[in-house]
Amino acid sequence: MTRISISLLGATLLAALAMPAAAAQRDGEAELAKAVAGRDAGKPVDCIYLRDIRSTRIIDGTAIVYEMNNGLIYVNRPKSGASSLDWTDVMITDTHSSQLCSIDTVKLFDTGVRMPTGWVGLGDFVPYPRPPKNAPKS
């Protein structure tokens, strides 16, 4: 009886740990949808200029949002390592040019525990321009 109880407890704990990861992925998609609400995706580009980036935001397990000085938003869904994305991490980008490109990698660093938590291999940058001022609101 004790072995069955311990097995059930172990299975319950594993299920409880797996559910937040799946929920975070769904929440990440919802958060990304909010970030680009009212904007239409443009043609993806390989690189963006570092000097034009105003701010960045990590969407848990999903994407990195780059807000540019002119109000344009670029969304990057990493080719690899997206599951490592956590909004509490700091991104460390080591570039050797004035651009951030789809061939670059970004290290993730948790400032709370002061250690690396992973890395991502960037994908294409999808632009989401501001809607025209005269556009009807939906």
For residues 14, 20, 24, 25, the Cα torsion angle rounded to the nearest 10 degrees is 30
pTM: 0.76
Tokens of 14: 């594993």
For residues 3 and 105, the model is more confident at: 105
* 10 CB neighbour count, 10 Å cutoff: 10
Query: Bridge-partner residues for 67, per DSSP?
Result: 55, 73
Please give the pLDDT value at position 26: 58
Phi first, then psi: give them for residue 121, nearest 5 degrees: -100, 115
Among 110, 103, 68, smallest CA distance to 85 is for 110
Whether residue 24 contacts residue 62, with contact meaning beta carbons closer than 8 Å, is answered with no
The pLDDT tens digits of the residues spanning 19-58 come to 444 444 458 899 999 999 999 999 999 999 999 999 999 9
